[in-house]
Amino acid sequence: MKILGLNAFHGDSSACLFVNGVMIAAVEEERFRRIKHWAGFPSEAIQFCLQAAALTLADIDVIAINSDGKAARGKKIKYALSGKASLSLITEKLKVREKRKSIEDYLRLEFPKACFSGKVEFVEHHLAHLASAYSVSPFESASVISVDGFGDFASSAWGFGQADRIDVQNRIYFPHSLGVFYQALTQYLGFPHYGDEYKIMGLAPYGEPRFREEMDRIVIPGSDGGFELNLEYFQHHKNAIGYEWDNGAPMVGQLYDDKLSELLGAVRSKGEPISQVHKDIARSVQDCYERTFFHMLTHLHRRHSEEQGREIENLAIAGGCGMNSVANGKVHLRTPYKKVYIQSAAGDAGGAIGAAVIAGQRAGQSSASFSMSHSYWGPSFDDAYLTKVIRDQSNLGHQGLDQCDIRYDLPLEQLVEHASNAIEEGKVVGWFQGAMEWGPRALGNRSILGDPRRADMKDILNLKIKRRESFRPFAPSVLRECVNDWFESDADVPFMMKVFQIQADKRGQIPAVTHIDGSGRLQTVTDESNPRYYRLIKRFYEKTGVPMLLNTSFNENEPVVCTPQEAMACFLRTNMDVLVLGSHIIQRSNSV
Q: What is the pLDDT of residues 351-402, one digit of tens each?
A: 999 999 999 999 988 666 678 999 999 999 999 999 999 999 887 666 688 8
Q: In angstroms, rounded to a whole number, what is the distance separating the alpha carbons of residues 315 and 301?
A: 9
The CATH number of whichever domain residue 433 belongs to comes to: 3.90.870.20
SS (H, E, C) 89-116: HHHHHHHHHHHHCCHHHHHHHHCCCCCC
What is the model's pLDDT at position 89?
Answer: 73
Question: Has residue 373 been placed in a domain?
Answer: no
580 and 472 share a domain? yes
83 and 105 share a domain? yes
336 and 478 share a domain? no
The rounded radius of gyration (Å) of the Cα atoms in the chain is: 24
Question: Has residue 371 been placed in a domain?
Answer: no
Question: Has residue 377 been placed in a domain?
Answer: no
Question: Has residue 536 been placed in a domain?
Answer: yes
Q: In angstroms, rounded to a whole number, what is the distance separating the alpha carbons of residues 500 and 331?
A: 11
Question: Has residue 66 been placed in a domain?
Answer: yes
Phi, psi (degrees; rounded to nearest 5) at 120: -100, 125
238 and 316 share a domain? yes
Long-range contacts of 395-403 (CB under 8 A, 24+ apart): 398/568, 398/572, 399/572, 400/572, 401/572, 401/586, 403/588, 403/589, 403/590
pLDDT averaged per 10 residues in sequence order, the chain, 592 residues: 95 96 96 97 98 97 96 90 77 64 85 92 98 96 97 97 94 97 98 95 97 98 96 92 82 96 96 96 98 98 98 98 98 98 98 97 79 96 97 78 93 98 97 98 98 93 76 92 97 98 98 96 98 98 98 95 97 94 93 53
Give the three-class secondary structure for 490: coil
What is the model's pLDDT at position 380?
Answer: 98
108: left (phi over 0), alpha (psi -120 to 50) or beta: alpha
Q: Point out the domain boundary residue: 299, 327, 362.
A: 362
Q: In angstroms, rounded to a whole number, what is the distance separating the alpha carbons of residues 133 and 111?
A: 31
Q: Point out the domain boundary residue: 333, 362, 391.
A: 362
Question: Has residue 83 been placed in a domain?
Answer: yes
Question: Has residue 480 been placed in a domain?
Answer: yes
122 and 165 share a domain? no
What is the model's pLDDT at position 86?
Answer: 75
What is the model's pLDDT at position 99?
Answer: 60
- Residue 503 identity (one-letter amino acid): Q
Omega within 30 of 0 (cis) for the link into 175: yes
- Residue 388 identity (one-letter amino acid): K
What is the model's pLDDT at position 228?
Answer: 98
322 and 387 share a domain? no
What is the model's pLDDT at position 463?
Answer: 79
Question: Has residue 327 been placed in a domain?
Answer: yes
What is the model's pLDDT at position 546?
Answer: 98
Q: Point out the domain boundary residue: 362, 397, 420.
A: 362
Q: What is the pLDDT of residues 281-336, one digit of tens each?
A: 999 999 999 999 999 999 999 999 999 999 999 999 999 999 999 999 999 999 99
547 and 411 share a domain? yes
422 and 495 share a domain? yes
584 and 482 share a domain? yes
The CATH number of whichever domain residue 324 belongs to comes to: 3.30.420.40
Q: In angstroms, rounded to a whole number, what is the distance separating the alpha carbons of residues 336 and 51?
A: 44
298 and 180 share a domain? yes
430 and 355 share a domain? no
Parent domain of 116: 2-126+348-362
Residue 346 near residue 317 (C-beta atoms within 8 A): yes
480 and 503 share a domain? yes
What is the model's pLDDT at position 592?
Answer: 46
Phi, psi (degrees; rounded to nearest 5) at 192: -85, -10
Q: How far is CA 532 from CA 185, 422, 470, 529, 583, in A?
A: 41, 16, 31, 9, 10
- Give me the number of domains the chain comprises: 3
Q: Is the dihedral of CA 392, 395, 399, 403 positive or negative?
A: positive
